[in-house]
Amino acid sequence: MTKKSIPFFNYPAIYIKNEQEYINIFKDVCSRGAFIDQKDLADFEKNLAEYVDCKYAIGVADGTSGLILALRAKGLNQGDEVIFASHTMVATASSIYYSGGIPVAVDCRDDRLIDPEDILRKITPRTRGIVPTQLNGRTCNMDEINKIATDHKLFIIEDAAQALGSKFKGKSAGTFGSAGMISFYPAKTLGCFGDGGAVFTNDDEMFRQMKLIRDHGRDPATGKVLRFGLNSRLDNLQAAILNFKLKTYPQDLERRRSIARTYQAMLGDLDQLLLPPGPDVDENHYDIYQNYEIEAERRDELKSYLAENGIGTIIQWGGSAVHQFEGLGFKCKLPRTEKFFKGALMLPMNTTLSDDDVEYIGNCVKTFYK
């Protein structure tokens, strides 16, 4: 095998692939002076809502503020608890915190998603809602979570930052609860050229409140301030770029799934690895593989071995679940999540990888364990 060089993520390659189109978009938007809240944003919001089959999509400055908008629209009171899975980005918990709630961490199951049984154990009279993370591009079994939410009168707001286009039983991530957030951070499956995000909702009142909060609480018709809000607008230029990228997004997802299929075929029978669920094993799930996160024996050695062979890998969230960051003051033990982080490693997964690249990565992993 000749040595290759495969970075974990290749940002310039994403731009170069369609450079001329991006230049045209830049010229078009800028020559119209269309920078804030213009047609490109409205078009993108409409297309995005259609894509996930949801009544409303609202472009926001970034995913984190999207979650804050949704939680603020719900109106948390002091002492309200909101449950989240600790295997997530800290943004899930900090959004709860910055919306006035108390984030309550729960464990994950073998598919790395929030554990419904642990949710039940952590519910108290102060629990108001659940923020499940649709992690790595896989949507939770929302039947189980919806049932808990209904039984205990809790709201659901999804952190679907990693899951645009992912589905459970044919329904898109981000459209199950009162609202759902996605992120357009550049490394996300639909990435923009900076920060960006969106929130979805089917609820007219949630839509109204989130739109108000996005723009300082101002009524767009009169300019009157109706409530306290923030500036959390998605730039019109980013919206125009995202609108262009959305056109080929379904193909991008199929490419990711085909890479996952190859990893599954090459590595599926190694006892030392626990792979994510394969793309064809459960028809209830349409996974989009934002990340290909494995649980590996001798993880650190594997990571070094792959680096020596030119392959970039990443340990998600710096190797810690949210409750393990001491500065945040969580005082719980979550055994499955903690065990998971000892072996967690993300292999390259993006649309700039060639078939040869994927095979090379698979072969290197196999050689390591031989």
Ligand X SMILES: *Cc1c(COP(=O)(O)O)cnc(C)c1O
Q: Which residues bind ligand X (CB under 6 A)?
A: 62-64, 88-89, 91-92, 133, 159, 161-162, 183, 185, 195, 197
* Sheet containing strand 167-168, strands side by side: 171-172, 167-168, 285-286
Name the minimum Å distance from CB 98 to ligand X.
Answer: 12
Separation of CA 362 from chain center? 25
CA torsion angle 316 166 196 119 (round to 10): -60
Q: Which is nearer to ligand X, 161 or 353 (CB)?
A: 161
In terms of CB distance, is 88 or 166 closer to ligand X? 88
d(C-alpha 92, C-alpha 135), whole Å: 11
Q: Whole-number minimum distance, CB 125 to ligand X, in Å? A: 28
Distance of CA 15 to the CA centre of its chain: 21
Nearer to ligand X, 234 or 364 (CB): 234
Output the smallest distance, CB 249 to ligand X, in A: 17
How far apart are CB 234 and ligand X at their closest, in Å?
Answer: 11
Please report how close the Cβ of residue 198 comes to ligand X at its closest, in angstroms.
Answer: 10
Nearer to ligand X, 92 or 209 (CB): 92
For ligand X, which residue has the nearest CB?
Answer: 63
Give the residue among 165, 237, 161, 244 at the shortest CA–CA distance from 194: 237
DSSP 8-state symbol, 223: -
Shortest distance, position 186 Cβ to ligand X, whole Å: 9
Nearer to ligand X, 118 or 195 (CB): 195
Q: Which residue has the tokens 């995005």?
A: 48
Which is closer to ligand X, CB of 89 or CB of 212? 89
Q: Please, which residue, 253 or 365, has the CB nearer to ligand X?
A: 253
Instruction: Give the nearer residue to ligand X in terms of CB position, either 64 or 313.
Output: 64
Q: What whole-number distance in Å separates Cα of residue 21 and Cα of residue 177? A: 36
Task: Give the shortest CB-152-to-ligand X separation in angstroms.
Answer: 24
Amino acid at 11: Y
CA angle, residues 183, 79, 139, in degrees to nearest 5: 30
What's the closest the beta carbon of residue 170 comes to ligand X, in angstroms?
23
Give residue 257's identity as a one-letter amino acid code: R
Q: Which of 94, 163, 170 is nearest to 133 (CA)?
A: 163
For residue 66, count other CB atoms closer than 10 A to its CB.
35
Helix axes 299-308, 355-369, angle to 10 degrees: 130
Q: What is the DSSP string of 71-117?
A: HHHH-PPTT-EEEEESSS-HHHHHHHHHTT-EEEEE-B-TTSSB-HH
